Chains A and B, each alone.
Chain A
Amino acid sequence: MSAFVNALQGKIGWTLLAVLGLLFPFIAKNDYHLTVMSTAYIFALATIGLNLITGYTGQFNLAHSGFMAVGAYTVGILTVDHHWPFWWAFALSGFTAAALGFFVGIVSLRLRGHFFSIFTMCVGYIMYLVIEKWESLTHGTVGIIGIPAPGSIGGIAFDTPRPLYYLVFVFLVLGVWVMSRIVRSLMGRTFVAIRNSDELAESLGINLMRNKLLAFMLSVFYAGMAGGLYAGFVRFLGPGIAGVENTFDMTMYMLIGGIGTLLGPLLGALSMPWLTQYLQFLQEYRFVVFGPILVLLVIFLPHGIVGTYMGWRARKAARAVPVTASSAPSAIGASMREGASHV
């Protein structure tokens, strides 16, 4: 049993998830389900980005949906008003978000903890208001209508739900894979060190500002790319996408699955939209249910489903291995050597 669970945790589990994703269009009853799942994938991509800066680096960015809107509007404006092909505009979407992220980052990342969150919330509002009011650029509240579908690649046209589903799926898989490389790299460990303690990280010789900025830009790059996909998928944009509510939604996905884990935010982002579908009679009032769920989770299950499970497993493993006097110091020595290599 435990071997089976262990296998699920590792490569086999991820492969299983990928196979499920590949087979989903054959399981889905109708196109509507495909659309729901594709939208969930797009938001999952953005949520994974938010998890990098919030879960791994410990800075709660409340402007995340604003950066998603920047990516989306990059595609919308360039394709509709300047007649660029979708793929050219899409290639830029992540970079415009990251470029803006650079400037927002150098100002906001000097602030710590609550101040960073409140500041980014204000930045998010500025982005929303600018999108709403700058009519000559963004079409204001009317929104951008008639964004072209992604152009065909190798004879596959992306104008029906199924090819679009696979397109979004490929980007999600790519995004998750790159993120897994990031968080397991030295860079990822540096981010975690910053989350655990600013001072400790600094005393290890980590340049706080440079690393936080890097995490921030990578995180909003994901948001921008998700926004670009969103523009090509939904083909209509309004200022609403920049609303802080979208960031709140992503926060909920992240927290339910398990903040600061790779799998958690993904699971949260993929499962919650379905729960919303089944609670459809609630529609606008879904937060009457989700609000208290969020509070209860924070109080009773602060590490989410995946995080709690991993904690339980770690404790179980710790009990199973009797700590001998000789192994403990060597473990500390190993971790110190590992720490030294990070400098």
Chain B
Amino acid sequence: MDIFLQQVLNGLTLGGIYSLVALGLTLVYGILHVPNFAHGAFYMAGAFVSFHLMKAFGLNYWLAMIGSAACVAVLATLAERLVFHPLRHASGLHPMIAAIGVLLFLEAGAQAIWGADFNRMQTPYNGIIDIGGLTLPSQRLLIIVGAFTLMVALQLFLKRTVMGSTIIAMAQNRDGASLVGIDANKVAMLTFAISGALAAIAATLYAPINLVYPAMGNLVITKAFVIIILGGMGSVPGAIVGGLIIGFAESFGAFYLSTDYKDIVAFALLVIILSVRPQGIFTKGAR
């Protein structure tokens, strides 16, 4: 039973991270209808900026996280202005290829600046917490609490503030949003900034129990795509639920099936689900 609960906690950790990354991706898709392949590179950049801030400037973990969220938010906004904005009227294929260009650029850039080595990020939370026989590294607990707090905050921002509502309005109906005076450019920039900041925070939370290296975003972004297809492209609750599903599938898959193939679980799940329901599980007809 303890082992089972341990897997549940692992699933929550993974799911929390995946949801944060998928949320950024799904928000951007909702606004621009572009699958942002560069999102994984934002995630990677977030980890490296935090790592750098802590190592070179001696900032503490939390300040580094805030700093990196700000940096990547600026980076994402720049990408929107320089790359996706000029392509907003282009056909489906071209923005996708442009996103790949941004991805390749950021990955090679990170490698040029920080090298291809695997780095370990320090965390002030090295302890292990013992709750009624369950052992839990405190960094994992931090991930779970941090990720879900952020999700609630994002949900409140989207539902309760005017600024957040403009994002939802824009995702629901572009023309309608313009008619009531919402500035499409501002919303697009805001959305990219939020998605970048979410990716950076997710990366900084997860990096201490993982490693920091230039290709670290690739697997995460691919899983995030799986999640938003499962949850419905552009849907915020879908991204959270989808993230948890993949997180649990992976932690249980690694334990009960095979650690070697745990990364395949998510993709296999996608293939099976899309074979049965090409439109995803939570959506109605949109594909």
- The interface of chain A, by Cβ under 8 A from chain B, is 54, 58, 60, 107, 110-115, 117-119, 121-123, 125-126, 129-130, 133, 244, 248, 251, 255, 259, 284-288, 290-295, 298-299, 302
Q: Let me know if A118 and B93 touch, CB within 8 A.
A: no
Cβ of A107: which chain B residues have Cβ within 8 Å of it?
Answer: 271, 274-275
Q: Which of A121, A286, A288, A295 has the most CB of B within 10 A?
A: A295
Interface range, B side: 35 or more
Give the chain A neighbours of B233 by CB distance below 8 A.
114-115
Interface residues of B in 75-93 (CB under 8 A from A): 82-83, 86-87, 90, 92-93
**Taking the complex as formed, is B153 at the interface, i.e. its CB lies under 8 A from any CB of chain A?**
no
Q: A255-B97, A284-B108, A291-B101 are in contact. Are A298 and B90 (CB under 8 A)?
A: yes
Interface pair B271/A292, CB less than 8 Å apart: no
Assess the B104–A291 pair: CB atoms within 8 A.
yes
* CB-contact partner of B108 in A115, A122, A133, A286, under 8 A: A286
Q: Which of B98, B108, B270, B274 contacts A287 (CB 8 A)?
A: B108
With an 8 A cutoff between CB atoms, is B107 at the interface? yes
A288 to chain B, nearest CB (A): 5
B112-138 interface mask toward A, CB cutoff 8 Å, 1 = contact, 0 = none?
A: 100010000000000000000000000
Question: By the criterion CB–CB under 8 Å, are A294 and B97 in contact?
Answer: yes
> CA A119 – CA B268 in complex, angstroms?
11
Chain A residues in 8 Å Cβ range of B278: 110-111
Q: How far is the CB of B192 from chain A (nearest CB, A)?
A: 15
Contacting pair B101 A295 (CB below 8 A): yes
Contacts of B95 in A (CB 8 A): 298
Chain A residues near B271 (CB-CB < 8 A): 107, 119, 122-123, 126
| Alpha-carbon distance A67/B233, docked complex (angstroms) | 27
Which A residues are in CB contact (< 8 Å) with B66?
Answer: none
Q: Which residues of B contact A110 (CB under 8 A)?
A: 274, 278
13 contacts across the A-B interface (CB closer than 8 A): A111-B287, A115-B233, A121-B225, A122-B225, A248-B100, A251-B97, A287-B108, A290-B101, A292-B105, A294-B97, A294-B101, A294-B104, A299-B83
Residue of B nearest to A108 (CB): B274
Smallest distance from the beta carbon of B114 to chain A beta carbons, Å?
12
**Which of A111, A115, A129, A251 has its CB near the most chain B CB atoms (within 10 A)?**
A115
Chain A residue at minimum C-beta to C-beta distance from B83: A295
Which B residues are in CB contact (< 8 Å) with A298?
A: 87, 90, 94-95, 97-98, 101
B112 x A285 contact (CB < 8 A): yes
The tally of CB-CB contacts under 8 A between chains A and B is 118
Give every chain B residue within 8 A of A293 (Cβ-Cβ).
Answer: 101
**Are A299 and B98 interface neighbours, CB within 8 A?**
yes
What's the Cα separation between A302 and B98 when bound, in Å? 10
B282 at the A interface (CB under 8 A): no
Q: Is B6 interfacial (CB-CB < 8 Å)?
A: no
B35, CB-defined interface residue at 8 Å: yes
User: What 4 A-B pairs come out closest when comparing CB atoms?
Assistant: A291-B105, A294-B101, A287-B108, A287-B104
In the bound assembly, the distance between CA atoms of A119 and B35 in angstroms comes to: 12
Question: Are B96's CB and A114's CB within 8 A?
Answer: yes
User: Whole-angstrom distance from the CB of B251 to the nearest CB of chain A?
Assistant: 17
Q: Is the CB of B105 within 8 A of A125?
A: no
Q: Is B109 an interface residue (CB 8 A)?
A: yes
Nearest residue, chain A, Cβ from B115:
A284
Residues of A within 8 A of B33 (CB): 114
Determine the distance from Cα of A129 to Cα of B226 in the docked complex, in whole angstroms: 16
Which of A113, A292, A298 has the largest number of chain B CB atoms within 10 A? A298
Interface residues of B in 45-102 (CB under 8 A from A): 82-83, 86-87, 90, 92-98, 100-102
Q: Known contacts A125-B267, A251-B100: does B112 contact A288 (CB below 8 Å)?
A: yes
Of B156-164, B202-210, B235-243, B258-266, the one contacting chain A is: B258-266
B93, A60: Cβ atoms under 8 Å? yes
Report Cα–Cα, A156/B69, bound state, in Å.
Answer: 62
CA distance A107 to B219 in the complex (A): 22
Tell me the bound Cα distance from A293 to B96 in angstroms: 15
Q: Is B44 an interface position by the 8 A CB rule?
A: no
C-alpha gap A60/B229 in the complex (Å): 17
